[in-house]
Amino acid sequence: MNKTAIITGASKGIGRQMAKAFAENGYNLLINYNNSKKEAEELCQQLNSKGIIAYAYKADVSDRKQVDFMVEFCIKRFKNIDLLINNAGVAQSILFTDITQDDWKRMIDINLTGVFNCTQSVVKYMISEKKGKIINISSIWGMVGGSCEVHYSTVKAGIIGFTKALAKELGPSNIQVNSIAPGVIQTDMLKGLNDKDLEELKYDTPLMRLGTADDIAECALFLASDKADFITGQVISPNGGFVI
């Protein structure tokens, strides 16, 4: 029987590439999106035309009710959830002194409460099955801190603490909880950077290139596979050597 994955924020960027990679590896998919309906539905149709069972589902991860409806929909369609990837996220580059209460709240609500909402909603089904895998997308800035991204770094560090604590609590239920902390990955999230910034980031990366969404998808495939059954509570950082 095919495994089932929920990938949050799968309409674009890293989440979209992960959805494609998991579909190619035999997963049924729930493609979560919030604003990018067209992109999510187009991806879903592409996968359906290849015989893959996938649904696009709109839910704002920061809204618990919407998340619970999404998870119930997934259970009704697929009966079980083998994998949750908490990928949905927003970024903002801003001086600490300019961060408003609204900026701060939005960052916490989407990037951190979103992870809590989705995980708590899914985990009860995994516990009753006594198996499951959860992958939380953090960032190198959650490991080492990023200037002009204090609120982003805070939530991404929070995701690492969440991952470690939950891994301890859910280990006895045979549920592995891990985090991927990507380096600089070429997606829409970098669109605020100019060519010079991107060249400098490349120069600061020992492997001399920026990462791709595929670099992260490959890492997620490994963590979701049986080969990673003894790995839990860990942070893996595909970053080209940017942070060592």
Tell me which residues are annotated as active site: 152
Question: Does the protein bind ligand NAP through residue 60 (CB under 6 A)?
Answer: yes
Taking CB under 6 A as the rule, does residue 11 contact ligand NAP? yes
- Give, as ranges, the residues between 76 and 135 that touch ligand NAP (CB under 6 A): 87-91, 110
Residue among 5, 6, 7, 15 that touches ligand NAP (CB under 6 A):
15
User: Of the candidates 188, 199, 200, 229, which one interacts with ligand NAP according to CB under 6 A?
Assistant: 188
Q: Which one, of 221, 223, 177, 219, lies nearest residue 25 by Cα?
A: 221
Q: How many residues does the chain have?
A: 244
Write down the least CB distance from residue 230 to ligand NAP, Å: 25
Based on CB atoms, which residue is closest to ligand NAP, 54 or 88?
Answer: 88
How many C-beta atoms surround the C-beta of residue 48 within 10 A? 14
Number of residues that bind ligand NAP (CB under 6 A): 30
Which residue's CB is nearer to ligand NAP, number 122 or number 137?
137
CA dist., res. 203 & res. 177, Å (int): 33
* CA–CA separation, 21 and 45 (whole Å): 15
Neighbours of 133 (CB within 10 A): 26
Hunting for tokens 């891990």 — which residue is that?
Answer: 178
Toward ligand NAP, which CB reaches closer, 14 or 126? 14
Interacting residue with ligand NAP among 117, 121, 187, 237 (CB under 6 A) = 187
Element (DSSP H or E) covering residue 54: strand 54-58
Kindly tell me which residue out of 18, 43, 54, 61 binds ligand NAP, with binding defined by CB under 6 A: 61
CB 10, min distance to ligand NAP, A: 6
Separation between Cα atoms, residue 169 and residue 222, nearest integer Å: 22
Does the footprint of ligand NAP cover residue 22 (CB under 6 A)?
no
**DSSP-assigned beta bridge partners for residue 136:** 86, 179
User: What residues numbered 166-185 form the site for ligand NAP, per CB under 6 A?
Assistant: 182, 184-185
Q: Is 136 in the site for ligand NAP (CB under 6 A)?
A: no
Could you say whether residue 34 binds ligand NAP (CB under 6 A)? yes
| AA identity, residue 37 | K
Long-range contact pairs involving 184-187 (C-beta distance under 8 Å, separation at least 24): 184/140, 184/210, 184/211, 184/239, 184/240, 184/242, 185/13, 185/14, 185/210, 185/211, 185/212, 185/213, 185/215, 185/216, 186/210, 186/211, 186/212, 186/213, 187/12, 187/13, 187/14, 187/213
CB of 9 to ligand NAP, least distance (A): 3
Query: Given the rule CB under 6 A, which of 11-19, 71-79, 124-132, 168-176 is the region that contacts ligand NAP?
Result: 11-19
Which residues of this protein are in contact with ligand NAP, per CB under 6 A? 8-9, 11-15, 32-36, 60-62, 87-91, 110, 137, 139, 182, 184-185, 187-190
